[in-house]
Amino acid sequence: MAKSLTRAADSRAPAKSRQKQLPASRAESRAFGEPQGEGGETHQIAEGDVATLTTAQGVPVADDQNSLKQGERGPTLMEDFHFREKIFHFDHERIPERVVHARGFGAHGYFELTESLADITRADIFQRVGERTEAFVRFSTVAGSKGSADLARDVRGFAVKLYTKEGNWDLVGNNIPVFFIQDAMKFPDLVHAAKPEPDRGFPQAQTAHDNFWDFISLTPESMHMVMWIMSDRTIPRSFRFMEGFGVHTFRLLDEDGRSTFVKFHWKPKLGLQSVAWNEAVKINGADPDFHRRDLWAAIEAGDFPEWELGLQLFDEEFADSFEFDVLDSTKIIPEELVPIRTVGRLVLDRRVDNFFAETEQVAFCTQNIVPGIDFTNDPLLQGRNFSYLDTQLKRLGSPNFMHLPINAPRCPFAHFQQDGHMAMRNPVGRANYEPNSWGAGIGGPREDPARGFKSFAEPADGEKLRIRPESFADHYSQARQFYVSQTPIEQKHIGDALVFELSKVERADIRSRMLSHLIHIDDGLARTVGNGLGLALPEPAKATRQPIGDLPPSDALSIVKRGPQSFAGRKLGLLVTDGADAALVQALLNAVDEAGAMVEIVAPKIGGATLSDGKILGAHQKIDGGPSVLYDAVAIVASEEGGQMLAMDAPAKDFLTDAFAHCKFIGLGPGTEPLLARTGLAADVDDGCISLSGKADAKAFVAALAPLRFWAREPLVDLDALET
């Protein structure tokens, strides 16, 4: 797999843009970053000069873009003191909250093997079909604090801890299969740029600000990820309806040490689904815990979330022939080239007993693998392996975090590690070292060459270099492939998102610089975003490698193309008033239940409504506390008097107009005519608005909800609709 080399010079800012702002006064000149002399005296930097980047020890830095590796594509070296210092400081910036993935929610469950992989890996978890392995999963947002809202536009963490018979395996992934950067050296810079700006402490859980887009526009390797984060993937409807990915290329090893490359995928059994951006904003106001509540309620109801574990398996021959480097975390392998092999299922069937003890104290480390699974030389993965353990030490305050029940292995374990803060277990007896002469039992545990972990015997040679391989140099081709794989409505959403985010950027040069990259991805997209920002298209950004313009679309990259064709697992919001048709209401309840979905009753009063049969139907939500954004589809059933009342009620009008604007299917029962007239929608009723004249219409209505959205409506209700 020999590859040629190129320096990552394209990811650096031009010298002019990196010029240091001079302090306004002597007092201000003592700010962090100003070179200081003996006694703290500040060395002034002349106007137009550029300060030399140094380590915290004052050592000048020659390359801040690449970690030190052994050979062109070799492993990252521990002697890289600049990388270690940078990551070390970054890992310790926050206490006790996680620096990233601070807002999370977890649940217990199990992994069940459905197809043996004994022919390609010795990993115990992949040997016996039907065997279940205990699991804990933590979902999270990345950029926001613990107190941020669930529906921020953000990558979602999808971290799985599997308590196997040969130790804990942590598959620490995201709901997106690629990442922003190729080398862990840049991780602190990425997160610093995405987090609230340090001088003002905002915006929270948002990337719509200058710092983020300044960094991204100076980092062409991020362009593929930009397409993903500007798509609906970053505003999922539920944890239950999103994919998970291991991101990196790993290895599976058999009994003889033979290697097979693998990429891990979690596929939701209920299919993919996201929300609209305007909807996400309103959900954050109505219920900032929307994703947490959804997962809790599903498990409580016995509707256990489930994913299939799929593997992409390939060999060195494929890796050498593939257009892109399999060690590059900004790239995918399309499923059409390497199909997904489904080998198991993950089921979440138990909530935590205590949020802090389990969800907050769970410690995931990418380095936690088991015999039969191994790393590759992906430089981002190599850096994560160093960083995570250091992070857990700072966050949990002790090297003994594995003593916490949520982190402890479920298999037998024995070692000589002792003492330290919060040690709950220590070696028993005289021997606390190895080798020793005390014999079996007394002398403690010993190595097991047969069962023990063995790394893949991969040769490493070459010069020690801070460099990127030439095979990492194409930053636009797969970004374009992702974009052209989307349906027109999804392409519209990407364009809308870019216009929204960049419209919050104050500096016109940053906005223009992003347009220069978008030209390489899709000229129509660049023009649409330029028009939305009122900017003319600039010259295209300089590409270090000519993009491949004819990569075929991949249906697996589209949410809509791979969307569910069932309302199962979803929620109908049913707005009722006093006097509503009891038979129709009951028929809707029955039809939704048969479809494997849920109903939430919304009424003018939380006490419920007295239906036409004189019986009281209890309400889950009062109308102003149960807006339509909380539901996947809505239906309204009212009496004549109740319909007149709804037409005068602002929250009821919002219930209907928001559902219409968000392209949801709407069931219109008796009594809705005054509300339609008052909202001005009477003339706009379309095929997504379904008449419910009586109980006979209930089943057909629920069956019509399977596509989840009536996307044909959006170009008619959204003035930002793009030509695609």
* Statement to judge: residues 639 and 516 lie in one domain: no
Question: What pLDDT, on a 0 to 100 scale, did the predictor assign at position 474?
Answer: 97
* Statement to judge: residues 667 and 537 lie in one domain: no
Band the pLDDT of 719: cuts 50, 70, 90.
low
3-state class (DSSP) for residue 140: strand
Band the pLDDT of 17: cuts 50, 70, 90.
very low
* Statement to judge: residues 637 and 508 lie in one domain: no
User: Do the domain assignments include residue 266?
Assistant: yes
User: Do the domain assignments include residue 564?
Assistant: no
- How many Cα atoms within 13 Å fall on the side-chain side of residue 16? 1
Q: How far apart, in whole angstroms, are the C-alpha atoms of residue 290 and residue 659?
A: 17
Summarize the confidence of residues 69-88 as an average pLDDT.
87
Specify which of 67-76, 88-97, 187-196, 713-722 reaches the highest per-range mean pLDDT. 187-196
Two structure tokens written together for 196: 């609230």
Q: What is the pLDDT of residues 49-65, one digit of tens each?
A: 777 878 777 777 889 88
The total number of residues written for the chain in this structure: 724
* Statement to judge: residues 303 and 392 lie in one domain: yes
Tell me, what amino acid is at 385?
N
* Statement to judge: residues 366 and 511 lie in one domain: no
Question: What pLDDT, on a 0 to 100 scale, did the predictor assign at position 48?
Answer: 65
Report the range of poorest mean pLDDT among 86-90, 248-252, 312-316. 86-90
Of the candidates 533, 557, 581, which is a domain's last residue?
557
User: Do the domain assignments include residue 66?
Assistant: no
Two structure tokens written together for 689: 């608005």
For residue 604, the domain's CATH number is 3.40.50.880
φ and ψ of 556, to 5 deg:
-65, -15
Closest CA to 643 of 617, 615, 607, 682: 682
Alpha-carbon torsion angle 164, 169, 175, 181, nearest 10: -170
User: Do the domain assignments include residue 155?
Assistant: yes
3-state class (DSSP) for residue 425: coil
Of the candidates 356, 374, 403, which is a domain's last residue?
403
For residue 483, the domain's CATH number is 1.20.1370.20
Q: What is the pLDDT of residues 141-186, one digit of tens each?
A: 999 999 999 999 999 999 999 999 999 999 999 999 999 999 999 9
Question: What pLDDT, on a 0 to 100 scale, did the predictor assign at position 422?
Answer: 83
Residue 312 and residue 263 in contact, taking contact as beta carbons nearer than 8 Å: yes
Q: What is the pLDDT of residues 619-638, one digit of tens each?
A: 999 999 999 999 999 999 99
Residue 135 and residue 125 in contact, taking contact as beta carbons nearer than 8 Å: no
Q: How far apart, in whole angstroms, are the C-alpha atoms of residue 399 and residue 422?
A: 9
User: Do the domain assignments include residue 651?
Assistant: yes
Residue 664 and residue 632 in contact, taking contact as beta carbons nearer than 8 Å: yes
**pLDDT higher than 70, residue 277:** yes
Beta carbons within 8 Å of 266's beta carbon, 6+ residues apart: 158, 160, 173, 243, 244, 245, 307, 308, 309, 310, 346
**pLDDT higher than 80, residue 187:** yes
User: Do the domain assignments include residue 48?
Assistant: no
* Statement to judge: residues 395 and 537 lie in one domain: no
3-state class (DSSP) for residue 291: helix
Question: What pLDDT, on a 0 to 100 scale, did the predictor assign at position 47?
Answer: 59
Question: What pLDDT, on a 0 to 100 scale, did the predictor assign at position 285?
Answer: 96
User: Do the domain assignments include residue 317?
Assistant: yes
* Statement to judge: residues 679 and 545 lie in one domain: no
Question: What pLDDT, on a 0 to 100 scale, did the predictor assign at position 86?
Answer: 84
* Statement to judge: residues 496 and 389 lie in one domain: no
Q: What is the pLDDT of residues 433-449, one digit of tens each?
A: 888 898 877 888 888 88
Print the SS3 string covering 376-387: CCCHHHHHHHHH
φ and ψ of 665, to 5 deg:
-75, 140
In the chain, the number of structural domains is 3
User: Cα angle at 505 between 224 and 282, to 5 degrees?
Assistant: 85
In the block, tokens 């650096």 appear at: 12
**CB-count burial class (<10 Å; 0-12, 13-18, 19+) for 372:** buried
Q: How far apart, in whole angstroms, are the C-alpha atoms of residue 485 and residue 491?
A: 9
Question: What pLDDT, on a 0 to 100 scale, did the predictor assign at position 322?
Answer: 98
Question: What pLDDT, on a 0 to 100 scale, did the predictor assign at position 440?
Answer: 77
Residue 306 and residue 652 in contact, taking contact as beta carbons nearer than 8 Å: no
* Statement to judge: residues 596 and 547 lie in one domain: no
Of the candidates 403, 433, 463, which is a domain's last residue?
403
Question: What pLDDT, on a 0 to 100 scale, did the predictor assign at position 46?
Answer: 57
Q: How far apart, in whole angstroms, are the C-alpha atoms of residue 48 and residue 16?
A: 8
Residue 398 and residue 418 in contact, taking contact as beta carbons nearer than 8 Å: no
3-state class (DSSP) for residue 389: helix
Question: What pLDDT, on a 0 to 100 scale, did the predictor assign at position 31?
Answer: 35
Q: What is the pLDDT of residues 385-394, one digit of tens each?
A: 999 988 888 8
- How many Cα atoms within 13 Å fall on the side-chain side of residue 674? 15
* Statement to judge: residues 530 and 602 lie in one domain: no
Q: How far apart, in whole angstroms, are the C-alpha atoms of residue 406 and residue 671?
A: 53
Q: How far apart, in whole angstroms, are the C-alpha atoms of residue 10 and residue 542?
A: 8
DSSP 631: S
Catalytically annotated residues: 101, 174
Report the range of poorest mean pLDDT among 76-80, 478-482, 548-552. 76-80
Q: Domain residues for 216?
A: 73-403
Question: What pLDDT, on a 0 to 100 scale, did the predictor assign at position 12?
Answer: 38
Mean pLDDT score across all residues of the chain? 91
User: Do the domain assignments include residue 550?
Assistant: yes
Two structure tokens written together for 709: 């959205």
Two structure tokens written together for 639: 């009496």
* Statement to judge: residues 369 and 480 lie in one domain: no
**pLDDT higher than 70, residue 332:** yes
3-state class (DSSP) for residue 174: strand
Q: How far apart, in whole angstroms, are the C-alpha atoms of residue 120 and residue 112?
A: 18
Residue 493 and residue 277 in contact, taking contact as beta carbons nearer than 8 Å: yes
Closest CA to 351 of 400, 279, 301: 301
Question: What pLDDT, on a 0 to 100 scale, did the predictor assign at position 414?
Answer: 87
Beta carbons within 8 Å of 641's beta carbon, 6+ residues apart: 577, 578, 579
Beta carbons within 8 Å of 192's beta carbon, 6+ residues apart: 198, 211
Provide the percentage of residues in the chain whose pLDDT is more than 90: 77
**pLDDT higher than 90, residue 450:** no
Tell me, what amino acid is at 617?
L
For residue 284, the domain's CATH number is 2.40.180.10
DSSP 106: E
* Statement to judge: residues 527 and 591 lie in one domain: no
- Helical residues (DSSP H) of 408-522, grouped into ranges: 477-484, 488-503, 508-521
Strands 306-314 vs 341-350: parallel, antiparallel or unpaired: antiparallel
**pLDDT higher than 50, residue 43:** no
Band the pLDDT of 29: cuts 50, 70, 90.
very low
